């Protein structure tokens, strides 16, 4: 029997509140980081409000409307009314990496905010081209990859970067964040309806906002005031999107040595975005919504390319969290509403106003719940015997969270763990591979963290294939791991002070194109991970040899299985 799929349902408000908070965090970070690291203050702040945010609005609107339309198409095709659109927005890791390792270095070298913005556009465009190109092969990759390998990465990210991060924020500012958390737990764990049928997510945001405004700031730790709202209101202004073709052309007119070196950042991040989006599509299918791999990834790439063409330096992506939004009861309307509201906020310069009225702590409990559901899904929707593979895939992502925390702590401490007024202390990350901190090896932490999206998937895939006694498949994935580590997509890194960056090992290609030879500058620690490459090759040899043994003696090797 045909079912009507509405453009909007009441529970879309819950999904919208959570996704809006998620997007708002990125929009608030952009002005802060670009001002502090890329010199975009005073007159140069125009690059943020006249170019970046309007460009981001175009990409976010395109993506959200497409994924809402895609949900309607799937609902009509399968005669269902419970399809949830894929969540979409600015890619947080890419945003941070491009600011810290592309735009900030350009500004430090040129002292030009415009040059930093232009190189950021190149990074965004490159990422979009990689994402669009990846859509043609991602379907094949998805068919060859066990579900445990795709979902374990998301679970690891959910544990560290979503659930743990937001749990810490909730308990750091409990008088604003804990009451909304109670509302979300009632709504989503007990499934008990609120009076008048009010959406639980909306109630959570409202009560959190009221706590921030009604309780003293010295009690809540959250500062809101009518004066801050008035100041934010004064920053409003209508900013229409503008094509940035001239700025992109200016970058390509530079000698290749001025921009080719940044491919060592752009290429890994573009590939990470492809794999991350692929994993999120698999997560949606595990939750019951099977979307086309090609069209989903192609739209993602087109959205990122549109962002660059209209002045944004930051790729957009399919967000982690579809099962959480589906559990909230959101359908397609939350995606449409998010696209419209974010576009309005970016084009009218009211990002600060929204933040001044609604503190982010009022809505983070919704995002915390999304992380919980993603972690649970990885174990619930994979074959029972593949649970160890999911567990193995968690470790690199958890290491990534730990490395991020450690790096942030060292940077905040000025590179020193003990203050000494008379002498400079060498940054902890530069003390070598044997450096230990409270029983943890920093080198090991960074090695496991670099390229963790790939490492999570590869290790989980190897484990799943070994559980199924598909030894040749495990050997093939080990060869992929060896290739990635040899190139520098995984495990390799370089450290300058307490800044950790990728060590892309294709130095000769860079030299051929016109760059200088890649040699470590004074005070830079470089690790190329070739010994780990050898380790993966030994993996492959052992698995291949055991596969031959298993083929010749299937009865003996299956004894006791």
Q: What is the DSSP string of 251-300?
A: HHTS-GGGTGGGHHHHHHHHHHHHHHHHHHHHHHHHTT----HHHHHHHH
Both tokens of 541, joined, read: 């040899």
Strands 88-90 and 316-318: antiparallel
Domain segments of the chain: what residues? Answer: 383-551
Both tokens of 546, joined, read: 């055991």
Cα(306)–Cα(298) distance, rounded to whole angstroms? 12
Q: What is the pLDDT of residue 507?
A: 52
Of 156, 178, 189, give the one whose Cα is nearest residue 283: 156
Q: If pLDDT is split at 50, 70 and 90, which confidence band does 414 have?
A: low
Q: Are 287 and 377 in contact, with CB atoms under 8 Å apart?
A: yes
Looking at every residue in the chain, the average pLDDT score rounds to: 85
- Beta bridge partners of residue 278, listed in sequence order: none
- Tens of pLDDT, residues 315-372: 999 988 898 889 888 999 999 999 999 999 999 988 878 878 888 788 888 778 878 8
Cα(128)–Cα(308) distance, rounded to whole angstroms? 8
CB atoms < 10 A from the CB of 141, how many? 15
Q: What is the pLDDT of residue 283?
A: 92
Q: What is the pLDDT of residue 509?
A: 46
pLDDT at 417 over 80: no
Q: Are 126 and 263 in contact, with CB atoms under 8 Å apart?
A: yes
Q: What is the pLDDT of residue 26?
A: 79
Q: Are 361 and 212 in contact, with CB atoms under 8 Å apart?
A: yes
Q: What is the pLDDT of residue 1?
A: 33
Q: If pLDDT is split at 50, 70 and 90, which confidence band does 508 have?
A: very low
pTM of the predicted model as reported, rounded to 2 decimal places: 0.74
Q: If pLDDT is split at 50, 70 and 90, which confidence band does 512 have?
A: very low
pLDDT at 89 over 50: yes
Q: Measured in whole angstroms, how far is the alpha carbon of residue 328 from the centre of its chain? A: 21
Q: Measured in whole angstroms, how far is the alpha carbon of residue 167 from the centre of its chain? A: 18
Burial class (CB in 10 A: 0-12, 13-18, 19+), 351: buried
- Tens of pLDDT, residues 108-130: 889 999 999 999 999 999 999 99
Ranking 105-114, 424-433, 492-501 by mean pLDDT, the lowest is 424-433
Q: What is the pLDDT of residue 516?
A: 46
Q: If pLDDT is split at 50, 70 and 90, which confidence band does 527 have?
A: confident
Cα(391)–Cα(395) distance, rounded to whole angstroms? 7
Q: If pLDDT is split at 50, 70 and 90, which confidence band does 269 have?
A: confident
Q: If pLDDT is split at 50, 70 and 90, which confidence band does 420 have?
A: very low
Please enumerate in sequence order all residues whose Cβ is within 8 A of that of 336, keeping only pairs 6 or more positions apart, or say none: 7, 8, 64, 65, 68
- Mean pLDDT, residues 522-535: 83
């Amino acid at each position: 029997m045909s079912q009507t799929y509405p453009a909007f349902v009441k529970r879309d408000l819950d999904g919208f509140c959570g996704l809006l908070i998620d997007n708002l965090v990125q929009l608030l970070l952009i002005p802060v980081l670009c001002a502090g690291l890329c010199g975009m203050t005073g007159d140069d702040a125009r690059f943020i409000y006249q170019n970046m945010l309007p460009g981001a609005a175009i990409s976010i609107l395109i993506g959200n409307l497409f994924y809402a339309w895609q949900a309607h198409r799937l609902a009509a095709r399968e005669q269902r009314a419970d399809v949830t659109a894929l969540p979409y927005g600015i890619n947080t890791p890419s945003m941070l990496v491009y600011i810290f390792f592309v735009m900030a270095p350009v500004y430090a070298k040129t002292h030009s905010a415009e040059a930093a913005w232009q190189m950021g556009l190149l990074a965004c465009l490159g990422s979009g081209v990689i994402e669009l190109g990846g859509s043609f092969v991602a379907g094949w990759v998805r068919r060859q990859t066990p579900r445990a390998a795709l979902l374990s990465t998301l679970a690891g990210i959910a544990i560290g970067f979503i659930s743990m991060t937001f749990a810490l924020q909730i308990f750091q500012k409990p008088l604003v964040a804990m009451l909304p958390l109670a509302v979300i737990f009632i709504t989503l764990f007990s499934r008990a309806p609120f009076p008048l049928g009010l959406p639980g997510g909306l109630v959570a945001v409202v009560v959190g906002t009221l706590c921030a405004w009604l309780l003293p700031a010295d009690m809540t730790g959250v500062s809101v005031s009518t004066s801050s709202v008035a100041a934010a209101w004064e920053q409003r202004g209508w900013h229409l999107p503008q094509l940035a073709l001239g700025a992109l052309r200016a970058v390509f007119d530079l000698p290749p040595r001025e921009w080719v070196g940044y491919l060592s950042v752009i290429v890994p991040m573009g590939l990470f975005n492809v794999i991350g989006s692929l994993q999120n599509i698999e997560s949606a299918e595990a939750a019951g919504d099977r979307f086309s791999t090609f069209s989903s990834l192609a739209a993602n790439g087109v959205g990122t390319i549109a962002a660059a063409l209209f002045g944004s330096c930051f790729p957009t992506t399919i967000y982690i969290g579809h099962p959480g939004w589906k559990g909230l009861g959101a359908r397609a309307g939350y995606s449409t509403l998010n696209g419209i509201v974010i576009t309005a906020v970016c084009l009218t310069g009211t990002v600060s106003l929204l933040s001044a009225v609604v503190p982010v702590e009022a809505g983070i409990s919704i995002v915390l719940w999304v992380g919980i559901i993603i972690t649970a899904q990885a174990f619930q929707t994979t074959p029972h015997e593949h649970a160890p593979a999911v567990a193995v895939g968690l470790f690199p992502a958890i290491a990534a969270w730990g490395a991020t925390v450690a790096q942030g702590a060292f940077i905040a401490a000025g590179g020193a763990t003990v203050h000494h007024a008379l002498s400079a202390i060498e940054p902890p990350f530069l003390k070598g591979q044997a450096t230990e901190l409270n029983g943890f090896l920093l080198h090991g932490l960074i090695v496991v963290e670099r390229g963790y999206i790939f490492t999570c998937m590869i290790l989980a895939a190897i484990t799943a294939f070994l559980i199924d006694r598909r030894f040749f498949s495990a050997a093939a994935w080990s060869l992929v791991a060896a290739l990635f580590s040899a190139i520098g997509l995984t495990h390799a890194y370089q450290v300058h002070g307490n800044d950790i960056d990728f060590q892309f090992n294709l130095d000769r290609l860079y030299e051929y194109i016109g760059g200088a030879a890649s040699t470590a500058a004074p005070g830079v620690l470089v690790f190329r991970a070739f010994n780990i490459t050898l380790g993966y090759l030994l993996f492959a040899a052992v698995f291949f040899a055991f596969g031959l043994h298993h083929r010749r003696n299937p009865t003996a090797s299956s004894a006791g299985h």
